[in-house]
Structure 1
Amino acid sequence: MRPEARYHDSGPYGWGALLSLLAVLYLTLLPFEFQEVAVADAWRQFLAMQVGPLRSRARQQWMANALMFLPLGFFMTAWLTVNLRSGFARLLTATLVGVFCLLVTAAVEFGQIWLPYRNPSLHDISANFTGGVAGAALWLAAGRRLAPLVTVGRREGLQISGARALGLYAAFYVAVSLLPFDFFLSLDELRARLASDHWSWWKRADYCLESLIQCRMLEAAQYLLAVPLGLWLRQRFDRRRAGPALLAAIAVGVAVEAAQWLLVTGRADGFSALLRAAGAASGVLLVPALWRLDLRRMRNRWGGTLALLLVVPYVLTLFALTLGNSEFHGDITRAREQFQSLRLLPFYYHYFVPEAVAIRSVLLNLMLYAPLGGLLWLWCGDDRGSGARPVAVALLGALAALVVEAGKLFVDGLRPDPTSVWLGATAAWLGWWLCTWVWRQHRLTPIRRSDVVGNPQPPLGKRVQALTPGTRGEDRRVAGSGAQDAGRWGEGIARDASESGAESLGSESVSRIARSIGVMLLIVTLGLAITWPVASPWLVVALIFYAAWLWRQSAAWLLVIPVLVPTLNLSLYTGRFFFDELDLFLLATVAVIALRWQAGRGIVSLPRTVAWALAVFALSVAISLGIGLLPLPPADANALVHYTNNYNALRDAKGFLWALLLFALLRQSQLSVEDLMQRWFVPGMALGLTGAAGVVLWERAAYPGLFDFEIRYRISGLFTDMHVGGPSIEAYLVMATPFALLWAWQRRHWAWQIPTLGLLVIVLYGVVVTYSRAGYLGMVVALGVILAGALAGAVALRGSRRWRLAALALLPLVVAGLVLPHMTGSFFESRIMQLESDLDSRKAHWRLVMDLRGPGLREAVFGSGLGRFPQAYAWGNPEGRSPANFGYAKRAEETVLRLGTGDSLFINQRLSLPHRGDYIVEITARADQPSRLALFVCEKHVRHFFTCVDDRVHLPEAGSNEGPWLWRFNTDGLATGPWFARRQLTFSFANTTNDSIIDIKRLSLMSSDGRELLRNGDFSQGGRYWYFSTDHLWPWRTENQWLEVFFAQGWLGLLSFIALTLFGMLALLRSAARGVFDDACLLAALAGTLAVGVFSAVFWSPRLSLLFYLILLLGVAARYARRHNQR
């Protein structure tokens, strides 16, 4: 069979086409500063384009545009034709690709009318179209030779001969030297060149305007970059003598420099030609020495030492080339002002300089930071091209560039360029990858003398076949390792036999202990459910049925818990926010799994980087939990009702701790982690989202109305932790939406997408009516990741599944396009208009958060403690406010509710009134000064009031009469709406007198027939049935998730949290990039949630914290298990 007749994976080309298209759109729409232009005016301007003269500056732009579109044409044609056999079909497809490139360039040129710094141009359209056609033609010419190489490279790593690699480098070297290809086209330009000082027989007049060290470094770079040319030329000449190759090397070096003279923007001189020729000649002479080197031995023995020796010169060179001889200053104010004026968009500043300058800047940055990747490879590299190390190298490259660019803030005359951070990461990764590739090729195909003298190479197709003669490389490795494994197994028989009895005894002891713990936990769970303030019988029955199901199917919790997160929350009725109904089901889960414990099953595996990050983060949580909890306050009536109490640390930590415990118990299931995800967790998340969508519809129908977008009402669902604000509902909708799409994708029949469509309509509706800008951002990020993942999956799939996946990914966009225009109102518009002012308020709040941190070393390393921010705000806010100023106190033998002032505060209890009519409220209270107690009976869900009846009770000064005082009211006009969407009633009261304290001894609400309707009106049971709400939302959260972690857990917690989320999401990203749509959806859920966390503290809700960490750990574990099984 001919090599080209085999099937080739189109995935890499599809990714190349997608990235090329995104790059084209990004670069053509810079700087993203749009102006208002009517569509009709834009169309007239677009039609009025004319062809102007193509002068030298315009030719630079023309060539830059052509080069920008060349990869798009190349990869698009490759993606569509890599497996086509018909020459006519290939040519027709390439023609269609050219038409596609023409449409793209016409669209972006039309869009540039709305950019104040850009104008549509026929020259740009022709250049873009030419570049796309050239890319398509390049694939048609070289694709048959490239496709087998890519196919084998995807399976066994990039296998390419050293000669071919050097040839590719030579072509790249010449092409880069001639950028931007603005050759002379007229005699006038030639005369201008002759008269200019940009060329010289020896050194130009403007040869060395920089510092001396910068000049020497650039000269060294010119010399070293030409060395591989000599290596390639020595290989090409089929002679053992170096003379002809040496002459050719000198000629090539001089010719490349001479070609600079033909460019309008070129700089040419004899000294540079000498450097290029010397470098190429050195390459010719180095070949025999390289042949005699034992690179393996040198690297293993001296790699780390060499890296240490080179790191100091590299750092000095880096700072010398970037910061030069400019004057430093220490003015922090100047640096801050310059930083605030920076535009952080990548390549923003490249737009305002000529193309030649921009290209040189990019290449210079790549050359500066690529050696860092090489040094890191010498220090800790291996022959694997994947894993966490390349990612860490890229991050270090970005960090190095960030340090350099930050240094420019303190240098006169220099401006930092944020693009350098991205280029630094890319360059360091490329340096690492290049060293890894060279090392791998050296191990797989050691240099032979015949290679040195340039014997002819076999055709590429034959070399590809030679790499896989019958059995693939990985199969041979498996066969070899199998024999070793068998030997090791045989050697261990005796040891296993001697240890089996001890292991059996130990396993039985562990199982017995686990069962004992399970029995105790089950008793505690049922005891708590029996004494639960509301719905106790229903909870007991539900827990018994759940425990029975879990006993039969240990994975059932993965379905039930995600469903209960958004649908079971009675805190507004019980007054319990620290330990709620979900915790009962979690306790039952642990109890049943412990009862059916089977020892010896180990733990679920994670990648090493994720496992270490998780361990460090868990350690940080434990330390910060101790800091936040200690000293342990008395377990009195105030312990679990107020967020300024130290016990708030337990509430803050429980989401992560529950997730960690449940993940550790996964191994007790008989199913693999991947099966647990697909069969249980994904349906659970989809069902939970369905339940949340139903709650959203009910809430909107009951309160503002489904289609009333003018009332300033923000939904909260059943996330009752929003009684003090927070992002819970929008974060949950963003987190769960990808699972609905994933669930629909896992169904085989397309009809399942119809209910998914309806669910998406409701979910997007719900996100809109949260009126949360952070929620909008999170949903956009989540849907963007899903779309990218679906495109990657469509590239990897074939047949109808490809189109079904593409349709499924486009479904949310279609829904958004159809639904969103009908959901905007005055409140929506006002929220958008307040974006800038609200952002300023958040920035001020973030600065206050940093000021409230303790100054000590412990606070810096380990944080101020979990759950301590509300307390720190209450004690240290500069306005002197007292958030939620209330508490339960003992007075004689009675418990009173002590109600202070200083901030917005309402104490509430849910009501269930038997009928409409007259009611009486009786108050027994006293105050330290004449005060007013405001009483309300309102239609209220969590925090927002609707129709109310209210009154004010005037209390005399201390020592006077305690009452009782009476308030009579009528409920006609309250609790309106149909039976299925009736508004809930809440009894509320507040102290409206500044600097006063009211002790409330007893509250009573009685119907006309004498029934008591308030529970725990004498506060003898503390906060049972009562809860507080407030309109002041700053005191409870830092309103940034990373800042929240930093405040509570310090640098240890922040860095480990970043590492945990980063490594986990990168693992999912790698899998999603290979077309695994499941991991793309998990990544979308995580990325969307963290996007919400940019402007909110998502983990304020322990429920969301639980789901987030479960998604992260389950997703990474499933991917790790899948990769392990595929080996």
Structure 2
Amino acid sequence: MKFVLPRRASALATLASGVACAAVGLWLMRHYPVQPVAATALWVAIAVASFFGWRSLPLLVPALVPVIGFAPWTGWITFEELDLLVLAVAAGGYLAIASTAPPRKPVAWRYRTLRWRAAVRVLMAVFALSAFIAVWRGFDQAGGMDFGFWQGFQEPMNSLRAGKSFFLVLLLLPLWQKASDLRPSSVQRLSRAAWVLVLITTSLGALWERWVYTGLLDFSTDYRTTSLFWEMNVGGASLDGALALSLPFGMLWAMRERRPLRFVAALAVLLLAFYASLTTFSRGVYLAVPAGMAICAILWAVQRRDGPEASRQDAPASTAFPGAGRRVPLAWSVGVIAGTAVAAWVLFGAGGYRALLALSGSVAVLLAMPASRAAWPRGQMRALLVLATLPALLLALLGGLLIDLVPKGAYLIDGIVVLSGLGLAWLWRGGLTQPSQAFALAIVWMASLAGAGLVAAHWGSGRDVVAIAAVLGMLAAAWIATQWSPRVGADLRTASWRARGLVWTACLLACAVVAALGGGAYIGQRMSTGQQDFEGRLEHWRVSLGLLKSADEWLLGKGSGRFPASFANGGPFEERVGDYHLNPARSEVPASGLPGAEPFPHPTVTLTSGLHMMGNGEMFRLSQRVPAVAGEVAATVMLRTQFKTQLRVEVCEKFLLYPLRCVDREAAIEPKGGAWQPVQLKLGNAPADFGGPAWAPRRLVASVTQNWRGGVLEIASISIVDSVHGPVLQNGDFSDGLARWFFSSDRNHMPFHMKSLPAHVLFEQGLFGLALWTSLLVTVLMRLTFGAGRHHPLAPAVVGGLVGFVIVGLFDSLIDAPRIAFLFYALMALGLGLRASSRKVHRPGDPDSRLELETLQPELESAFEDAPEVRRAMAAAGVKLKGPVTPKRPRR
């Protein structure tokens, strides 16, 4: 790294930007609520890492977004870890650009794969102006700028919280541009990795939550996954939006991956993401995810058709399922998936999840069968197909007699058969050359169906045996029909291993959907109330848009972050929700008359409850995460009130919204003339395993709330102690503001959200902002579908992600959560700049031609997956390749 002295105006401006980001970041770190010294050291380390790695780290920022939200532990919502991360990366990157010389010259303009045209820049600048006006109007609507670190959704700083995400993205764009100018291929590699990591971390968070709190296979409990998104403390669809944005990138990875182990990893990520999507129980996700993935697959197939490989004698992309080289016709793939779904529905009703697992093994044997490399008489082949059914029937009969005598005998038989089938398929993976090999595989396939039937019959104690035999017999007959003629069913066996892997993944997804529909009452309930919920949405939109009173509000909006306060003040009286407010410190003696009482020179908190119908899930809670609670638990709350209310203190096993086990107690509170009074509550004894085992702990959350409509409490201090650990709360007297305190409303969510993405933009930024937002969205979709960026390898995933996000956004606001808004605007900005670089014929010894081959390496490797001559040409040109280069065979 060569250091230089910045002299040009652009370098000085870049240096000033880096210094400003560093100053703001360090100032925020000085006020960080938890371990500020250690947090500041970590922030400086990230800034230093960005200084040396600015060509890659800015593009990877989206990957960290799901895992850097710590508001339930810190209490910060106006500023959060995303802001600190972006400031650290920007500070290091801008300082590096201004004070160091680039390691190489930027590539020529025609080779750059990330470039925002002048018209796009103008459109983004005008939208940024609209967003700035929305923030300013939000402050104005709230009564003016009133800076504070601990303000809630109805206070002025919520405008900054809700409106800053687009500006954080703009802060990173120059770094993206500079990194792309030096190495264009890094845009594809790092961006795809970042969004796949978004998918992985989001899905793993959902998997962990379900495993610890409900069980992986419990689809009946009224429990919707929130994963790592604390923004769902008052509802919303943050998890839905993250999955919709990132799932097409996982699918693109699977479709483009050629290395077997990584392809298996991609399929595992897709299955994990499908499970996370299923556990959202969101009808919007169930519509958005298939739509986004279908669009991604279609655009990818169009890219392959229009690319250089279109000249090869392959089946048309419109009639083929995308794979590697050879392809599975769409009709066959749909037939296999549909047959699996029908069989899964019958087997699950009789044999539960174990029957579905056995069925998936049978489908794996079917899809693993290798192609035939030799032809034999048609009559002989048909005779072998018919005879292959006899061993399967014999296995079913003998197994039916033995499964009750041998423990787990059905599972053992099925496992042996499936493993034998997969082993033979691997042994003969080069192709079948003898009729005996085809006969053996046919026997194993039929026997695997019999094994699945045995598992279902054993688990269901003989229930629905006729239905099981009928559906498995149907599958066997359908397969025999496809093999009856040499020309029928051949494409399935000649398909690439990647294509068959994708079909098997789709079959597993079909089994998962069947399990969720057949084994969970909650998802059925969600589907049955769709019409009622939609009518409720329409009424909510009508009331919410009715809050826009004047012409300037319709034109410019109410301001960012102003919906909760506007709905609370102007919406239906009976739908007003609870809130909290931090009061400044003051010195006064409590009027309780207790001897030795001291003044309260520290802040207090005003906690209000809503005016809606009150229930356990509808209470507005002020909460704090606690490490451990054991033994006898008691609480003391110093408070005062002007009205009668009902105080509730609880400690619960709770991930974010839904409590499991609790120790709690309620007490009626009398006003006592507005005097301060201590309220002591014995919550009871915590269960022996409270908090779960050490290897799968459940979060413990202590909360204070009011089980009273319209209650108002001013709280001076909260103390919760147990007989083992003593005090379990920190900052119980609010001397550090609301540090470590968080809030939630488990089930009453509508007053916090507009529940429509376009309507949300209209409410905050008016018709002017909605027109600009729509223009940006249409521009990115058009240029990646029909325009300059349609040939870029990332274009299908970007379009699929944005389309899926918008579909989810038809029924939820989404971008009122800053982290999700950042992900959306980051993907949109990436799509607005993507373009396919120019192509030309390689000339040996030409450095510009060599540079272009290096620039287009990812595209060429994907386009010519089965063309070793291209890899030899790239190696001859001096381009470093990841895989081996096949030597050219001499002509005979």
User: TM-score, normalised to structure 2's length?
Assistant: 0.65
Deviation at 1:637, TM superposition (A): 8.7
Matches within 5 A, 1:38-49: none
Preserved CA contact (<8 Å) 1:948 1:974: no
Matches within 5 A, 1:977-996: 977-996=692-711
Match of residue 547 from structure 1? 47
C-alpha separation in 2, matches of 1:1071 and 1:816: 34
Segment of structure 1 superposing worse, 930-939 or 897-906: 897-906
Match of residue 622 from structure 1? 132
C-alpha separation in 2, matches of 1:542 and 1:891: 32
Deviation at 1:973, TM superposition (A): 4.9
Per-residue CA deviations over 1:411-452 (Å, capped at 9, x if unaligned) read: xxxxxxxxxxxxxxxxxxxxxxxxxxxxxxxxxxxxxxxxxx
- When Rg is computed on C-alpha atoms for both structures, the one with the higher figure is 1
Matches within 5 A, 1:200-215: none
Preserved CA contact (<8 Å) 1:795 1:802: no
Preserved CA contact (<8 Å) 2:639 2:678: yes
Match of residue 638 from structure 2? 924
Match of residue 900 from structure 1? 608
Matches within 5 A, 1:272-283: none
Among 510, 531, 534, the alignment partner of 2:34 is 534
Classify the secondary structure of the residue corresponding to 1:1017: coil
C-alpha separation in 2, matches of 1:790 and 1:517: 39
Counterpart code for 1:682: R
Preserved CA contact (<8 Å) 1:629 1:646: yes
Match of residue 830 from structure 2? 1114
Preserved CA contact (<8 Å) 1:937 1:949: yes
In the alignment, structure 1 residue 999 sits paired with structure 2 residue 695: no
Deviation at 1:996, TM superposition (A): 3.5
Preserved CA contact (<8 Å) 1:686 1:739: yes
C-alpha separation in 1, matches of 2:790 and 2:134: 39
Classify the secondary structure of the residue corresponding to 1:532: coil
Classify the secondary structure of the residue corresponding to 2:667: strand
Preserved CA contact (<8 Å) 1:789 1:1076: no
Per-residue CA deviations over 1:110-148 (Å, capped at 9, x if unaligned) read: xxxxxxxxxxxxxxxxxxxxxxxxxxxxxxxxxxxxxxx
C-alpha separation in 2, matches of 1:597 and 1:636: 36
Match of residue 528 from structure 2? 833
In the alignment, structure 1 residue 761 sits paired with structure 2 residue 761: no
Deviation at 1:521, TM superposition (A): 3.0
Preserved CA contact (<8 Å) 2:252 2:296: no
| 919 and 505 in structure 1: CA distance in 2 versus 1, 3 angstrom threshold | closer
| 1073 and 1084 in structure 1: CA distance in 2 versus 1, 3 angstrom threshold | same
Match of residue 844 from structure 1? 539
In the alignment, structure 1 residue 1008 sits paired with structure 2 residue 723: yes
Preserved CA contact (<8 Å) 2:58 2:89: no
C-alpha separation in 2, matches of 1:535 and 1:823: 43
Among 158, 167, 173, the alignment partner of 1:663 is 173
Match of residue 1101 from structure 1? 817
Classify the secondary structure of the residue corresponding to 2:703: strand
Match of residue 560 from structure 2? 866
| 631 and 703 in structure 1: CA distance in 2 versus 1, 3 angstrom threshold | same
Preserved CA contact (<8 Å) 2:639 2:715: yes
Classify the secondary structure of the residue corresponding to 2:718: strand
C-alpha separation in 2, matches of 1:619 and 1:1123: 37
Preserved CA contact (<8 Å) 1:638 1:888: no
Match of residue 735 from structure 2? 1020
Counterpart code for 2:509: A
Deviation at 1:715, TM superposition (A): 0.7
| 639 and 881 in structure 1: CA distance in 2 versus 1, 3 angstrom threshold | farther
Segment of structure 1 superposing worse, 715-724 or 815-824: 815-824
Deviation at 1:643, TM superposition (A): 1.0
Match of residue 448 from structure 2? none
Among 937, 958, 961, the alignment partner of 2:672 is 958
Match of residue 501 from structure 1? none
Deviation at 1:994, TM superposition (A): 3.2
In the alignment, structure 1 residue 726 sits paired with structure 2 residue 236: yes
Deviation at 1:1048, TM superposition (A): 0.9
Match of residue 594 from structure 1? 94
Preserved CA contact (<8 Å) 2:251 2:293: no
Among 559, 579, 584, the alignment partner of 1:885 is 579
In the alignment, structure 1 residue 692 sits paired with structure 2 residue 202: yes
Identical pairs, percent: 26
Counterpart code for 2:722: S
Deviation at 1:671, TM superposition (A): 4.2
Classify the secondary structure of the residue corresponding to 2:677: coil
C-alpha separation in 1, matches of 2:670 and 2:41: 50
Preserved CA contact (<8 Å) 1:888 1:898: yes
C-alpha separation in 1, matches of 2:714 and 2:582: 9
In the alignment, structure 1 residue 875 sits paired with structure 2 residue 875: no
In the alignment, structure 1 residue 949 sits paired with structure 2 residue 459: no
Classify the secondary structure of the residue corresponding to 1:959: helix
Match of residue 577 from structure 1? 77
Deviation at 1:513, TM superposition (A): 4.6
C-alpha separation in 1, matches of 2:218 and 2:687: 24
Per-residue CA deviations over 1:844-903 (Å, capped at 9, x if unaligned) read: 01111111112x221122111111111110111123443223322247424221122334
Deviation at 1:740, TM superposition (A): 1.9
C-alpha separation in 2, matches of 1:665 and 1:1113: 13
Deviation at 1:771, TM superposition (A): 0.7
Match of residue 516 from structure 2? 823
- Count of residue pairs the alignment pairs up: 623
Counterpart code for 2:660: F
C-alpha separation in 1, matches of 2:49 and 2:562: 39
Preserved CA contact (<8 Å) 1:683 1:743: no
C-alpha separation in 1, matches of 2:11 and 2:284: 47
| 859 and 507 in structure 1: CA distance in 2 versus 1, 3 angstrom threshold | farther
User: TM-score, normalised to structure 1's length?
Assistant: 0.52
C-alpha separation in 1, matches of 2:540 and 2:783: 34
Q: Which one has the bigger helix percentage? A: 1
Deviation at 1:974, TM superposition (A): 5.6
Preserved CA contact (<8 Å) 1:932 1:991: yes
C-alpha separation in 2, matches of 1:506 and 1:913: 50
C-alpha separation in 2, matches of 1:914 and 1:1029: 21
C-alpha separation in 1, matches of 2:564 and 2:829: 29
Structure 1 gap segments, 5+ residues each: 1-503
Per-residue CA deviations over 1:963-1020 (Å, capped at 9, x if unaligned) read: 3222233221563433232211111121223343221111111232674321221123
C-alpha separation in 2, matches of 1:651 and 1:539: 21
Per-residue CA deviations over 1:804-849 (Å, capped at 9, x if unaligned) read: 6866765763442232212231000000001000000000011111
| 537 and 975 in structure 1: CA distance in 2 versus 1, 3 angstrom threshold | farther
| 956 and 857 in structure 1: CA distance in 2 versus 1, 3 angstrom threshold | closer
Match of residue 877 from structure 2? none
Preserved CA contact (<8 Å) 2:633 2:720: yes
Preserved CA contact (<8 Å) 2:141 2:559: no
C-alpha separation in 1, matches of 2:291 and 2:98: 42
C-alpha separation in 2, matches of 1:811 and 1:525: 48
Match of residue 707 from structure 1? 217
Matches within 5 A, 1:779-858: 779-796=289-306, 797=309, 798=312, 800-801=324-325, 803=327, 813-824=506-517, 825-854=520-549, 856-858=550-552
C-alpha separation in 2, matches of 1:949 and 1:701: 23
Matches within 5 A, 1:245-394: none
C-alpha separation in 1, matches of 2:95 and 2:118: 31
| 522 and 735 in structure 1: CA distance in 2 versus 1, 3 angstrom threshold | same
Deviation at 1:672, TM superposition (A): 5.5
Classify the secondary structure of the residue corresponding to 1:1001: strand
| 807 and 584 in structure 1: CA distance in 2 versus 1, 3 angstrom threshold | farther
